[in-house]
Amino acid sequence: MATTSIDPFARQRELLDEWLDVRAEINRLQARAATLLAQRVEVMDADVATAPMHREAIRRSMVAEYSAAGRMAKGAVEQAFSDARALRDVREILRAAGPLIQARSGGTATEGAVRGGSTGVRRDRSPGPNSGSRAAARRGARAADSGRAAPRGDRSAGGERAGARR
């Protein structure tokens, strides 16, 4: 009887490698799904712009459509849309902060741009369609790139909004 020397761990490594390949593919598909949901949120935002009074009905309809099509619970679909919107906003913030990150790593950023609070993004606002996080991030990145403080729209418009008190 001839015996061959077979690595006893070869099959385990093969299974592990295949499992890692499957996990990588799942991650790619989940990233693609999040991108598609973020694009759908943008379409919803355009629909809401044409009929702002029906914002909630448009959102509920979108959630119900995806919930039924995906055979998923309503709460899971709502969370997926919320996550997709948040990821979209994070990507936009990172894109806007790119010049500051490069300047800081290259050593060319000014002290005012590197100090905290120069991004112009308000941390006390809850995320949502009217939070202005992307616009604030863009303003902050431009301001940081130029070395000046970011404009605070909420403070400068305060005088215009203030009414007479009785």
pLDDT tens readout for residues 5-64: 678 799 999 999 999 999 999 999 999 999 999 999 999 999 999 999 999 999 999 999
What DSSP line would sit under 3-30, residue for residue?
Answer: -----TTHHHHHHHHHHHHHHHHHHHHH
What are the φ/ψ torsions at residue 76 (nearest 5 degrees)?
-65, -40
Instruction: Please state at what angle helix 74-106 crosses helix 55-70, rounded to 10 degrees.
Output: 100
Nearest Cα to 145, choosing from 99, 96, 91?
A: 99
Report d(CA 153, CA 142) in Å as an integer: 15
Q: pLDDT (tens digit, 9 = 90+) per residue, 71-118?
A: 999 999 999 999 999 998 898 899 998 888 888 887 776 666 656 544
Helix (H, G, I), strand (E, B) or coil at 166: coil
Q: What is the pTM of this model?
A: 0.57
Name the pLDDT band for 137 (thresholds 50, 70, 90): low
